[in-house]
Amino acid sequence: KFSTSCETSQFSRAECTRMERVTRPQALEAALALWLPNGTHVYVSSTEPPSFFLRLRSRYRLYFAEDFKDKLATFSTNNYALYAVETLVLFGAFSVVQTFGYVTSWFEDACFPATGLRHS
């Protein structure tokens, strides 16, 4: 179970060579340490297998979609449904760390117009 505050992270290593370097586990650990204290609950949205993030488990409580497959099975029949759930987690998180440089402002306004009020 998540606590009342949850963090979320999205990682995409396929975008470019620089992304490949900065999204290795040791680089992720160093970057996340700048913002998140030890023991933080972190939901990871990635195409990498959970084993890729093993190094981060010593510092954070990691969660992946597969950790909730029993709950997701009742309505998630495809990747679009999973994406929708992960998007809700993203916008409900206390903080968000992404390796993407282009993601959210237009998307937030279009899909979640009240996003600006979420932590007011």
**Concatenated DSSP letters of 24-67:** SHHHHHHHHHTT--TT-EEEEEESS-GGGGGGGGGTSEEE-GGG
Residue 82: predicted pLDDT: 78
Strand 41-46 and strand 61-63: the pairing is parallel
pTM: 0.65
pLDDT tens digits, 46-77: 888 899 999 999 999 999 888 888 877 776 56
- The β-bridge relationship of strands 95-98 and 7-11 is parallel
Domain ranges of the chain: 7-104
Predicted local confidence at residue 1, as pLDDT: 47
